[in-house]
A and B are shown apart, each in its own frame.
Chain A
Amino acid sequence: MKTITAAGFVVLLFHALPCLAVQFEATGHAAFDWREYYQSAQFDQRSVSQANHQLSLFAEPEFIWSLNNAEHTFIFKAFVRLDSADDERSHQDIRALYWLTYGDNWEVQIGIAKKYWGVAESQHLVDIINQTDLVESPGGEHKLGQPMVAYTLIHDWGTLESFILPWFRERTFSGTDGRLRTGLAIDTDRAQYQHDREYRHVDYALRWSHSIGLVDAGLSWFRGTSREPLLVPQVTDIATEQFSSISLVPFYPLIEQTGLDLQATLGATLLKLEVIRRYFDAPLHQDYVAATGGFEYTFYSPLKTSWDVGALGEYLYDSREDPSLAIGQNDLFLGTRIAFNNEASTDVLAGVTQDLNDAGSRVLVVEISTRLSANIKLNFDAWVFAARDSENIIYQLHRDDFVQTRISYYF
């Protein structure tokens, strides 16, 4: 309710300044999702039965107040989802609630917002400001709003962004009744932190980026609480269960991370590279390097069509050898992106991430979207998880193949 009050306050504030030109706009979308899983779940127990169908509704309204020809902007963007099967997936978030102003070579943004860094398609290593809203999609592209003070300087030598991140957001995970979960349930209510100040630990980040001819480059640095938790097995409430019950507790360590992202745009070919080095604070000794690099080539109007057909290839590397920690340790991503350029803006994206260490482990995804009318959009997504080696992180999902149909109304 705090946000409503804040939004109300801004309305009052702006409307109390009749001498200034205020522009207001309400926009956003609401959608219905239907997910169907094609295999029986692997973690059903006496007291837990994982869903085979998931229906859900969500809305993401956005309110924009802009003052004096956008010299000052105030944005409030809410998100709420109601899920038929998984209480953890029924959730709400403030995606944005910030004030932004700027001058010729600077910009200030204060409040809750989202920042994206990086160039790769198969995974997003460099991107670290926002926490992943993992219950939204297994691809991890949805993010929670992050409180921040961001100051940007724009000069001939590039753009320098500096961030103070005063409040940490915990990652969302599927609940026990949901799908796309680990065998041992993740108990998000008992999250632990390396630092005593827990979610109140203040994190810092810096990023320099620049476009030099055909190359767009970025260098970034982050110091603070890792967005990615370590999952620590813990015994819970032995007394109340017949069998000792073990769950996984998210543990958020302190890290320092440096990142590099590069893209060269050479005609129809894009070459991309992302590299990170992550350092952990003592006593954790888990420092690692990870990288993603590859290309995207687009055939424009092939075979006398008006389509754009893209071919993508990326190699994923992670220096950690334990396959239970990350997906992209020695993996190859191959994909295609087709834009039909029709009135309905029909797009198809299909890709496979193949584990090169374990021939049986791969993730396939197909995403199709098209417009049914000026305001209504239809999305169809299919995910397939294959794994033979039970040590592989994908094995946890190997019976969670699903198709999702989404109908969205945009306003």
Chain B
Amino acid sequence: MKINTKIPSVLLMLVLAASASAELDFTGQSAQEYGLAIATEFKARNQGWHNSESTLTMTLRNANGEENIRKIRIKTLEVEGDGDKSLTIFDQPRDIKGAAFLTFSHVSGSDDQWLYLPALARVKRISSRNKSGPFMASQFAYEDLSSFEIEKYTYRYLGMETIDERDCYKVELVLLDELSGYTRQVIWIDKEHFRAYKIDYYDRKESLMKTLTFSEYELYLKQYWRAIQANMVNHQTQKSTLLHTDKIAFRTGLIESDFNKTSLKRAH
């Protein structure tokens, strides 16, 4: 089995905050300043949810339409002043059932990750270097699933565009991390609720590699928008992966001690 990951706290842009839909005022700002302001608001609206537990199904489709199913559960703890802590438990395919991994993501520096292999009852500290590798053979790379941090990019506002009849800010994100599989991303964020609707990923050769589209947004805790479906299409291989949130609950009582090497071993 492949395991070397970086799993999301919560799938990056699946979470977006709603609340006050005050429009940003861009007057007198450069495209870079606009872009940063949008990203900052986007991030700010996704804070304060404390913890969550979700059950997810990934449907992997190849160019011939053949499907492979993956099922995972993710527990996430929001950490103030640093990246989130998360525990990912694999349920399907059945041969990796019970495998789990623990991630302490950090705003600066590399993340800490431990993997639990139930057959050997072994906990292994693993490298978090593998940002551009595929997560469970899907079209999601580990970095696509990691928590969104302002410091990882530089920004440029590209203008307004309409997606699904919604006015969206179009912002270019240039990656600062040389280990990333991308040079840049273009994201469409709706003006009303700051929800991501689409992301284009450009590879190291500057060609369009993948497009992620979000749909079926629902509101949680009267404040946090989350897309129930996220579909990643790879334009170069014609493969795609649909990530569906089967169940999600916020503020379930998770605390710091649910995220350590001892709790990793008892995660079933």
Contacts and interface: CB of A to CB of B under 8 A. Distances in A.
A269 B129 CA distance: 9
Given A73-B266, A211-B112, A27 B1 contact: no
A27 B97 contact: yes
Contacts of B127: 265, 267-270, 298
Contact of B125 (A211, A298, A408): A211
A366 to B, nearest CB: 18
Contacts of A64: 268
Nearest to A152: B262
Nearest to B97: A27
B260 interface: yes
Contacts of A347: 1-2
Interface in A248-295: 263, 265, 267-270
A216 B125 CA distance: 8
Given A64-B268, A154-B257, A263-B125, A308 B4 contact: yes
A159 B264 CA distance: 13
A264 to B, nearest CB: 9
Contacts of A27: 94, 97-98
A345 B181 CA distance: 21
Interface string A289-307: 0000000001011000010
A96 B130 CA distance: 34
Interface string B91-105: 011111110000000
Contacts of B92: 374
Interface in B192-225: none
A159 B114 CA distance: 15
A301 B124 CA distance: 21
Given A267-B110, A347-B1, A374-B69, A342 B137 contact: yes
Nearest to A215: B125
A375 B94 contact: yes
Contacts of B97: 27, 410
Contact of A159 (B62, B129, B132, B261): B261
A267 B129 contact: yes
A270 to B, nearest CB: 7
Contacts of A411: 94
A107 interface: yes
Interface string A90-107: 000000000010101101
Nearest to A342: B137
Nearest to B116: A116
Contacts of A371: 93, 95
Contact of B68 (A141, A209, A343): A343
A29 B98 CA distance: 13
A410 B94 contact: yes
A237 to B, nearest CB: 40
B27 to A, nearest CB: 44
B31 interface: no
Contact of A341 (B125, B137, B268): B137
A377 interface: yes
A325 interface: no
Nearest to A105: B257
A127 B29 CA distance: 61
B251 interface: no
Interface in A332-362: 339, 341-343, 345, 347
B63 interface: no
A114 interface: yes
B56 to A, nearest CB: 17
Nearest to B129: A268
A154 B266 CA distance: 14
A73 B268 contact: yes
Interface in A188-203: none
A410 B125 contact: no
Given A29-B95, A301-B132, A408-B95, A116 B122 contact: yes
Contacts of B126: 265, 270
Interface in B50-70: 60, 62, 68-69
B38 to A, nearest CB: 31
Contacts of A268: 127, 129
A326 interface: no
Contact of A410 (B95, B122, B124): B95
B24 interface: no
A343 B137 contact: yes
Interface string B1-45: 110100000000000000000000000000000000000000000
Given A116-B122, A343-B68, A107 B266 contact: yes
A71 B110 CA distance: 33
B125 A70 contact: no
Interface in B111-136: 112, 120-127, 129-130, 132-134
Nearest to B267: A70
B150 interface: no
B255 interface: yes
Nearest to B237: A306
- List 8 tightest A-B contacts by C-beta distance, closest first: A410-B94, A116-B122, A114-B121, A116-B121, A300-B130, A268-B129, A339-B2, A104-B257
Interface of B: 1-2, 4, 60, 62, 68-69, 92-98, 110, 112, 120-127, 129-130, 132-134, 137, 181, 255, 257, 260-263, 266, 268
13 contacts: A25-B268, A154-B257, A159-B261, A159-B262, A265-B126, A267-B129, A298-B127, A300-B130, A341-B2, A341-B137, A342-B137, A374-B69, A374-B93
Interface of A: 25, 27, 29, 64, 66, 70, 73, 100, 102, 104-105, 107, 114-116, 119, 141, 152, 154, 159, 209, 211, 216, 263, 265, 267-270, 298, 300-301, 306, 308, 339, 341-343, 345, 347, 371, 374-375, 377, 408, 410-411
